[in-house]
Chain A
Amino acid sequence: MWRDTVLVAGKDLRIEARSKVALSQVAPFGIVALVLFAFALGPDRGLMAKGAPGLFWVAVLFCTVLAVQRSVSVESADGARDGLRLSGLDPAGLFLGKSAAVAAQLVVLEAVLAGGVILLYGAKVEVPWLIVVSCLLGTVGLAATGTLYGALSAGIRVRETLLPFLLLPIAAPVLLAGTRIWQAAMAGGTASDGSPWLRLLVVFDAVYVALGIVVYGPIQESA
């Protein structure tokens, strides 16, 4: 399973390295989202700084949808999906590999967005390691659920409109937890302020990664 994971992740990341879609399209989209939020919230810098955690995570969620759509569409050409099914790859490995690739792209995107939020909104971060940990944990959850729903909607023509609608409500806990943790990090709180939310993220991640490992095979068969 782990060998297949590395294989699939490597394939997806190599495709990304050559096409640079995440870097050249999704990241700028994230920045555009941040700018639009700034327009929406008005020139009041205090308000923007207060809203920064939530806005960061909303932008991350939008980028997740795009990254997942991309992850699914790289296989829609030339019967690649059937090829993967017949290749004898362990479906759990396929799931973990694709999730890992999405997660890697998301981490880079989050770094860009975090920089944008700190620069554009004047958000002051007192406890940076909380942010880093919450981002990593949140990313795992988003990548796992995204890959699952991506596989579920892989063969559907209306996937572009259906996937966000299906995925975003499921990702809501990550948004809630991530925002709270970031707020704690900005307020300079101790680890205890953020820890129930960190635990929530861990549970979320564990549940959906486990679910994905078990269920990805059957989903693939019906797509």
Chain B
Amino acid sequence: MIPNRNVHPPPVQSPRARWAVGIIGITAVVATALTVWLGLWVTPPDQSQGDLVRLVYIHPGVAWVALYLAFALAAVSSLLYLWPRTRSMFWDRLAAASVEVGVVFNVCTLISGSIWGKPTWGVWWAWDARLTSTAVLLVLFLGYLALRRVPAEPDVRAKRSAFVALFAAVDIPIVHFSVLWWRTLHQGATVLNPNLSPTIHGSMAWTLLLGFVAVTLVFVWMLLVRYRIGVLEDYLGTGELDVALRERQAEGAVTDEEEAA
């Protein structure tokens, strides 16, 4: 009997985990659909911005996810991976998942922001602090993903990626402040700005909040699925070569038996 060299048990997801991910997914879809319905039909147009305000229900949501949630998660996970006492492939996979999903949300942020900006400022793109920092973050994220695609041992790849994430985490605040000093055009922080509470109220405020929640749920679901994909990919990375070898050896065994017959 050819010894089973693939000693690691396959990563089976418990039915409860699968159920949880499914529930989060469904909730995310429902919340998003609700946001779209409220945002596009139910809520009234703004006094000054008109219908454009409807984009405010999704743009800040995707922006917060991409710029803060995904980025912070990637940075903290990378740090935890690098720290010897907490080192574990869990953090590496979490960081990779965060960055990949973060890229998607980053692109959504730039596109929705650009579409909002065209009728408002008259330009598809403006070199203000927020947009530029977002673009730089996108490029840094893409660099992280490019580096991860380089073939290497899992722990070497994990360490390299973690360092890149660390350097990016350090750089983004610096980039943000330098661009801020360089130009400022963007709306001041809408939601967190206490002065702005009289402007957004009623159904619009609730839709805005729902938008945030919906987008965050979508991110969480995507993160969980992407993480699972990472687990499966890592398992296959070690197992596939063994399977290929055994399949070859099995071919040889059949031929010999046929000969003996």
Contacts and interface: CB of A to CB of B under 8 A. Distances in A.
A–B touch (CB < 8 A): the answer is yes
Interface stretch (A19-27, A33-41, A70-78, A173-181): A173-181
Interface stretch (B67-75, B166-174, B219-227, B240-248): B166-174
Contact of B171 (A158, A170, A176): A170
Contacts of A133: none
A176 B139 contact: no
A173 B139 CA distance: 14
B156 A222 contact: yes
Contacts of A149: 167
A127 to B, nearest CB: 20
Given A200-B177, A218-B159, A169 B171 contact: yes
B182 to A, nearest CB: 6
A219 B156 CA distance: 9
B41 interface: no
Contacts, number: 70
Contact of A176 (B142, B147, B167, B178): B178
The prevalent SS among residues of B at the interface is: helix
A170 B160 contact: no
Interface residues of A, number: 29
A111 interface: no
Contacts of B136: 169, 172
B146 interface: yes
Interface residues of B, number: 27
Interface string B60-85: 00000000000000000000001000
The prevalent SS among residues of A at the interface is: helix
B140 interface: yes
B140 A218 contact: no
Nearest to A215: B163
A170 B136 CA distance: 9
Contacts of B174: 173, 200, 203-204, 207
B164 A166 contact: yes
A222 B168 contact: no
A173 B175 contact: yes
A9 to B, nearest CB: 23
B45 interface: no
A180 B182 contact: yes
A169 B140 contact: yes
B230 interface: no
A165 interface: yes
Nearest to B132: A172
B150 A158 contact: yes
Nearest to B167: A170
Contacts of B175: 169, 172-173
B143 interface: yes
B179 interface: yes
Interface string A139-153: 000000100110011
Contact of B143 (A169, A172, A173, A208): A169
Given A162-B147, A165-B143, A176 B182 contact: yes
Contacts of A172: 136, 175, 178
11 contacts: A149-B167, A152-B164, A165-B146, A169-B143, A172-B136, A172-B178, A176-B178, A177-B178, A197-B181, A200-B181, A219-B163
Interface of B: 82, 136, 139-140, 142-143, 146-147, 150, 155-156, 159-160, 163-164, 166-168, 170-171, 174-175, 177-179, 181-182
